[in-house]
Amino acid sequence: MHSQSTTIRDPKNGEHLRTFTFDLAYWSHDGFQKDEDGVLIPSNPTSKFAGQLHVFHDIGRGILDSAWRGYNATLLAYGQTGSGKSYSMIGFGANKGIIPRVCEELFQAIKMQKKNLELQIDWQAANPELLLSAPPPLQVMFSMLEIYNEQIRDLLSRTKTPGGLKVREDQQLGFFVEGLKWVPCENYAQIEKLMEQASKTRMTASTNMNASSSRSHMVITIQFKQVFLDTALTKQSSINMVDLAGSERQKSSGAEGDRLREGSRVNLSLTSLGNVISALADSAMGKKVLHIPYRDSVLTKLLQSALGGNSRTTLIAAISPADICYEETLSTLRYAESSFGTLFDGLVFAVGVQEENQVTEHPACFLAEWQLGTRTWAHLLEQARKEWEEQYAALSQEQQMVKALPHLLNVNEDPQLTGALKFFIHNGSCDVGRAASNAICLQGLGITDKHASFVNLDGKVTVAPHGKCKVIVNGVPVTSRTKLQHLDRIILGSNSAFLYIGFPSERGAKDLSRYDYDFFQLERAAAEGVSMDMLGTGSPGDGQADPSILAVFQDYIKLMPLVVEANQMSEELKKGLRMELKVKNLASSDSRGFDLQKEVMVKVTKPRTHEVWIWSKAKFINRKFLMEELYQRFLESEDSQVAQEDDPFWDPVEVVHLGSAHIWLQSLAYRMMLEEQVEFLNYDGLEEAVLHIRITPCSPEGWAHSEEDVVIDPLELLGKRIDFQIQIIRCLGVKWLKEDANRGIQMGYRIYDLPNTLYTKPVWKSVNPRIEETVHIVALSASREFLDYLLTNALVVDLWGLQEGCAELGFSQLDSLLLGEGHIVVDTKKLSGVKNVSQIMSNQVPEIYQKLLMLEQETELLRDVNRALREENVFLKASLEKTGSAQQARRADNPERGEVRTQLPAVREAKRMCAQQAGCDAQLARALKVFYGGMSVARRQLLGLRQCRPPEDDQMLRPFVHQRSQMLKDLEDLLESSLRRLKNDVAFIVKKKKEYLLHSQQ
């Protein structure tokens, strides 16, 4: 990042760069230190770090200047959740963001307006009848609202409006929020208290509605009115500061394979905002624009006057420097470029301006409006002062209780909302639940009417759940009364998180900031056995976790609370669904068995009917939004019944992927038959079933080759026709069928460059289904790439589970290239960009694969030795033929019987040596067959070992470690014994050949 540009590099392709240029670009990731007040400042003069004050000087002062000059000013913060939008807007601790700094400096500037005050006194002296009711020359009104799913919540009002506040339209005023509370403010301290109050309201509302702040838009509006008494004019401007919802919601709206579109209209707002800005940009460039779609969303309606008209607009787009956020970051850059690039450029704290003429009110209509405004302002100010007094009294009492009593401090995904709620635990028993009769009334998801009880007795605080209610302490569910220690982490219900603050005597100087939302979730995950080790460390060799594994782990942690909430909503709405997270290792679908990218998915089951679905991450997030809408209607006692096709909890029955089996094809490159029983491994790395399969090299007519047809060197098959048959015999012990006898299965596989998958016929209601299907595959002219494929790849057979009512997988072979005999043709074109297998292994696979590679390299050396011996054998045969020819010539010159007899032993010896040589070749072929059979078993063991996960129960960890160590030892023994056996066999054959060669020379 530089002063006006941002360059992004694809972590998977270092040569792929994109540069975006905007008005300003700031780096705020590292290169900083704290001063004595806790403010982050550059660590040295050369640091590129831009602190909050730096950003405010560039952006905030421009907003203030616009307000003083009478322009409407709008500040938009856009970007991925966690990228720093709220930090830039609100700030954290001593590092105040743009919004509080704008408010603070606004009132400092107001205090400096002595000249306006003198003008007011002079004007009042000339008009004594208005002396008591004259307004101050400057008026500031403050409002704060939140938009979630197109519903508006007033964050300054204690009154809850079902369905949210409504947006109305007036011919003079335009769009406005009916019933929105506007509070007059005389100083910055009042605005600061209003923002604290709004944070509490926002936290309570998000708990009640199960709506995270990252999925809502927060809009702060300051109406600033300047009264010029000498000219009887006013200048009024509106400052809108908008913290937009997380931009990743846009990506989830296109959930692949989902029949339902995103219904939580968070994405609608972001999309509509981009459309409005694009239309305004086209209009500014002189293009003909018939319609600007302000009416498409609540957000764009409220921002109509701010985006168009006499307005100045600023965009802050926040991005993350992490490579695992590359896709989201690129999406943010592109959205900002396409939506805002022409009208006002701005990226990564970037800013630009659109400016039009300011507007002032005319004297003719001023007096009546001003007198009306006078009474309204005075009334509102008096009312606000009473509320300030009440709030200050309540705040003072709360501060005293914080010092004296143990209490619960809320912890939220949004750091701005953490600590907004405090629940005090007085002496005696203190009940928590939904019911208003509880000492602590909590409305979170999964909270029952009487959920748990806290007891403060004899200097100790304990917690106990009521019945089977969910209470988690330090990541572990508790079922009986448990004593609490200072800074214990408590989760009530699905995801209401609290930090327990103990008695004053227990408290020290510990930093509470480390106990954030992520800490709670990581602790919860660790208690459930979820860790980087469980997902596969995949260390690249520098001691750091593989970024792809880290990304999956973060996805898992991020989705854990969402899955818990979805299960709770399913339970309360009586949908009967159960969801659980699964991690799919794409190595199960890779023919080389390499660890490719893993991905998180959600397994959905309906225990009553045994139906199963697999949802992608994007699809689950999409459905979660729709579930929240339905659940909110349920909470508000509205009709929560929807048609089946609109129900986010319902999906048509589908085919489910159960697991994959790898059958290594190495022996096929030597024309050796392969018959094995191979395990189907599921997502958890456990055996799902056993596949009985046979792969037989054969003639074009389908006759199986014998051992005499085995080749020593696969290159002998180069350019020749290769025929083989794949016969799937049966499937044994299918767990899918054991769970429900009415289910069925199908299998599918694809070999080499075959464009479509071949499926077996479906088999229903049989735990050990017999398949007995044979497919004849032919490569008409085997390429080097195809031979390499046979040597290094496996045939991946996928096991699919069928359920009653689902569509069976098509098993037609009509789309494949067929010969007249019905044979399927492969190797029809050369593969482009085939990566060097040795390079892939050295870069991407762990140590155990390196051992396997060394074994294969040693085998290649043995092949080279065998080639040399075969050349010697050819030379020997030529010598024998030459000797035989000479003998025949002598026999023609001297055809006496005795001489012929003397030559016969030599000929017989030559034939014997040729027969022995052929026997050596066959012996070597058998040795290779045994070796590659052992290699196939080793690779299967290796694949199973790599997918084997540790148990969740700590007590089972020691047996697991012992079992895994034994598996590694068995695998190592198998590899060493296979290589030792092959070396001995080859050494014996080489020795024999040398003896034959020495004998022939004598």
User: Per the annotation, where are the binding residues for ATP?
Assistant: 79-86
Which two three-digit tokens encode residue 139? 């008026």
DSSP state of 31: S
Alpha helix (H) ranges present in 449-546? 517-527, 532-535
Instruction: Determine the Cα–Cα distance for residues 28 and 6; give it in Å rounded to an integer.
Output: 13
Residue 926 burial by Cβ neighbours in a 10 Å radius (0-12, 13-18, 19+): middle
Instruction: Determine the Cα–Cα distance for residues 609 and 612; give it in Å rounded to an integer.
Output: 9
Instruction: Determine the Cα–Cα distance for residues 834 and 69; give it in Å rounded to an integer.
Output: 65
Distance of CA 918 to the CA centre of its chain: 59
Which two three-digit tokens encode residue 601? 């998915």
Instruction: Determine the Cα–Cα distance for residues 308 and 664; give it in Å rounded to an integer.
Output: 66
* Overall residue count recorded for the chain in this entry: 1002
Dump the DSSP string for 576-615.
Answer: --EEEEEEEEGGGG-TT-----EEEEEEEEETTTTEEEEE
Residues 272 and 296: beta-carbon distance below 8 Å = yes
CA distances to 279, 432, 452, 491 from 463, rounded to whole Å, are: 57, 10, 7, 11
Residues 6+ apart with CB under 8 A from 716: none
Residues 960 and 950: beta-carbon distance below 8 Å = yes
Dump the DSSP string for 360-382.
Answer: ---GGGHHHHHHHHHHHHHHHHH
Which two three-digit tokens encode residue 32? 């900083």
Q: Which residue has the tokens 């014997």?
A: 912
| CA terminus-to-terminus distance, the chain | 80
Give which of 751, 768, 752, 772 is closest to 760, Cα–Cα: 772
Single-letter amino acid, residue 914 = C
Instruction: Determine the Cα–Cα distance for residues 318 and 75; give it in Å rounded to an integer.
Output: 13
Tell how strand 72-79 and strand 311-318 pair up. Answer: parallel
Tell how strand 452-457 and strand 460-465 pair up. Answer: antiparallel
Phi, psi of 781 (to 5 degrees): -145, 95
Residues 482 and 463: beta-carbon distance below 8 Å = yes
- Known binding residues: 79-86
Instruction: Determine the Cα–Cα distance for residues 779 and 793; give it in Å rounded to an integer.
Output: 16
Instruction: Determine the Cα–Cα distance for residues 101 and 99; give it in Å rounded to an integer.
Output: 5
Single-letter amino acid, residue 236 = Q
Beta-bridge mates of residue 770: 730
Residues 668 and 697: beta-carbon distance below 8 Å = yes
Angle at 341 between CA 336 and CA 345, to 5 degrees: 95
For the CA atoms of 543, 547, 552, 557, what is the dihedral angle to 10 degrees?
70
Give which of 565, 396, 557 is closest to 496, Cα–Cα: 565
Instruction: Determine the Cα–Cα distance for residues 751 and 728; give it in Å rounded to an integer.
Output: 14
Single-letter amino acid, residue 628 = E
Instruction: Determine the Cα–Cα distance for residues 666 and 678; give it in Å rounded to an integer.
Output: 15
